[in-house]
Structure 1
Amino acid sequence: MKLQRVHTTADVRALGVCLLLLAAPFAAVPPLVAQASGATASGIRDPNGHPFRTPVGSPLEPVHRLALLRATRDSLRDGIALADIGDRLGFWIRRDPDGEVEYAGAIHGGAFSRFDLGGPDQALIEVHYRIGVLLRGRFGAVAARAELYHLSSHLGDEFLVDTGTRPISTSREGLELMLQGSPASGLTLYGGPGLLLRATPDFEPLSLRAGAAWDSEPGAPVRFHASVDYFGWAELEWKPAIAAELGAGLARGTRVGLLLGFGPSRAEQFFRQSERLIGLSVSHVR
């Protein structure tokens, strides 16, 4: 395995995009469009009325998330914290006069951090960045999303010094295509293939992501949710990385729940290690 190269320019760009996306909710810009009518499309539009609802339960999606977890690897058990920041900014949308077809463009990005709660200073273990350009569309009751993304990861300096771990490079660019539908009220299904266009070092290019999410009916005093997400990658011999969540909503776009995970690590620097996660998560998505 090659040593990780320093991608300073890419990191600065990634941080800049993340800050831009974090500022987007506070910008005094009117919504691009009003929420369109149509019960068949309600489950595959995001709260801003754009096609393809963000799969909040997927660890790959840039959202705001704070989680306190117990991580188990072989016989080791560690207390960790996940601190993720991520958002998306829609910049273009177009609908046909009948409202059956619509297209939208967006960018999204996020930083996914993992901290060691067992150490004296809760040091940063790993951080990785994902930046993507999205083309989203809806065709009747089916939504689709194409994402061209860049991903890179780095280990924390204190973690490197304390453990002597040799970092690996997971810098790569890829294309992911997903379809999404809502066969029943509150239920959303999604899935599709991914293809790496460039990776350092060379990785197997094919991957697959799929999942399901359920939300209770709007207007209830308490809204409940449940989700499960699968990610498989040829590089890891298609070992399933599973993330699941069960919980309740606190406010518009904010929810708290029990988070479970098993399979290859969601930390990019340790993706060849298997782990089990359990703990509490608070997340927010616009």
Structure 2
Amino acid sequence: MRFFSIIAAVLFCIPAAHATVPDDSYIAGYAAGVLKGLKIDIPSLVVRNGTITVPSKKLPEEDRARVVRILSEIPGVTAVNIADGTVQPSAAAPSAPDTAAKAPDVPATTTAAAPDEAITKEGVPADDSTVLATGMLPEGHLFKPLLADPRWAHFSAAYRNYIGNNVDGNNNGSVSFGETIPFYRGNFGQSTVQWEAGLQAAVFSDFNLDAPSSDLINSDFIASAYGSVRAGQLSAFGRVFHQSSHLGDEFLLRSITSLERINLSYEGADLRLSYELPYGIRVYGGGGGLFHKRPSEIKPWLVQYGMEFRSPWRIEVVSMRPILAVDFKNHEQNNWNTDVSARAGFQLDRLQAFGRKLQFLVEYFNGNSPTGQFYREKVEYLGIGAHYHF
């Protein structure tokens, strides 16, 4: 069946093995040598999967921006984290051991938390800063993905059960294929404030699982050029985008279909701001508008806001981290009624590919349909799905 073949493509065609992991021993020795050359004495630092963590108490305030910028340019480094306090690596790094460097000519050693520790707090307090690697095609994102946004570009597969009457069946499958790709990242001057520019694109498709051949209902295509900025815990994401919506052939051919087809296509621009609070809590908000839209009578304005919780504590036995997110949207087209999207579940930190981690989330939606052709329809559904996110 078509839908289940697409699910298989999403979940299993992504390589199971990790992408090549940088040599943490090499990075640790290189970083220690750089610090020694700058005449900065830091007794120890930790490198985990390309991320350098430096205790802030050992790094003079006046040297912090310069040191972080230089360390982020070391080959293989994905991020530099300034930790306020003692660095305590967790017991289960996804694919490479934690490495501590004493000096460039001293062999690196492996460290680990107590084996009987069931839950480990990972990460650092909210006032710490992380600086990502710069240059062409860098890893990571300055602006973290919106976990509950039904139209955030990423790879996913989900089952949804619609409550009440749905335009085409109550048992639907939904898949998405997409990514946010940074082309270049840099720093503003000599500061640790960073910017990046790139492309974001995705396809979102829905299938009627009640139909004999799991008919394609609709596909939305979204492509955009974006820019993002990050300063500590504050980040921003702005884009200019195109979206078009296309009904499936089987949906159009079936006699039960009474929906009027709309040639839905538009361009728009939006901006979102995000702030990360202590204990894994994040709040965000923003809005945008449409231009060059078809049909022309669509009202242009949109407001979006939400909250997320990414647990800083991880259950080490299964490397599992709880997640909770809720997203709200208000469209002028729908008289500013609130669309609510909520997702909750867990993230498996060890199961990752290309830096993306696998999440299993239950979901709930109530509002005007996020599916392009059906934006006038009120829907409510419950579902469960698998998602790949940073």
- The whole-number CA distance in structure 2 between the counterparts of 1:170 and 1:130 is 12
**Equivalent residue number for residue 6 of structure 1:** none
- The whole-number CA distance in structure 1 between the counterparts of 2:282 and 2:387 is 18
- The whole-number CA distance in structure 2 between the counterparts of 1:32 and 1:87 is 22
> Any gaps of 5 or more consecutive residues in structure 1?
1-21
Question: Does the 8 Å contact 1:106/1:134 carry over to 2?
Answer: yes
**Equivalent residue number for residue 234 of structure 1:** 332
Note if 1:113 corresponds to 2:208.
no
TM-score by length of structure 1 reads: 0.83
Query: How far is 1:48 from its partner?
Result: 3.6
Identity %: 25
**Equivalent residue number for residue 283 of structure 2:** 189
- Secondary structure (helix, strand or coil) at the match of 1:185 reads helix
- The whole-number CA distance in structure 2 between the counterparts of 1:92 and 1:169 is 35
- What amino acid is aligned across from residue 359 of structure 2 in structure 1? R
**Equivalent residue number for residue 315 of structure 2:** 220
Question: Does the 8 Å contact 1:43/1:185 carry over to 2?
Answer: no
Q: Of the candidates 278, 283, 304, which is equivalent to residue 209 of structure 1?
A: 304
> Any gaps of 5 or more consecutive residues in structure 2?
1-13, 23-74, 83-125
After alignment, is 165-174 or 147-156 more displaced? 165-174
Query: How far is 1:228 from its partner?
Result: 0.3
- What amino acid is aligned across from residue 270 of structure 2 in structure 1? E
Higher Rg of the two aligned structures: 2
Question: Does the 8 Å contact 2:81/2:130 carry over to 1?
Answer: no
Question: Does the 8 Å contact 1:106/1:133 carry over to 2?
Answer: yes
1:114-193 to 2 correspondences below 5 Å: 114-162=206-254, 163-193=257-287
Residues 42, 238 of structure 1: alpha-carbon distance in 2 compared, 3 angstrom cutoff: farther
Deviations 1:75-100 (A, max 9, x none): 88610000111112111111246653
Residues 147, 62 of structure 1: alpha-carbon distance in 2 compared, 3 angstrom cutoff: same
- What amino acid is aligned across from residue 248 of structure 1 in structure 2? F
Residues 128, 75 of structure 1: alpha-carbon distance in 2 compared, 3 angstrom cutoff: closer
More RCO (CA 8 Å, sep 6+): 1
- What amino acid is aligned across from residue 223 of structure 1 in structure 2? R
TM-score by length of structure 2 reads: 0.62
Note if 1:59 corresponds to 2:154.
no
The structure in which a higher percent of residues are strand is: 1
**Equivalent residue number for residue 280 of structure 1:** 384
**Equivalent residue number for residue 3 of structure 1:** none
**Equivalent residue number for residue 90 of structure 1:** 182
**Equivalent residue number for residue 14 of structure 1:** none
- The whole-number CA distance in structure 2 between the counterparts of 1:45 and 1:272 is 41
Deviations 1:176-198 (A, max 9, x none): 01100012221111110111122
Deviations 1:96-127 (A, max 9, x none): 46653111012111000000001111000000
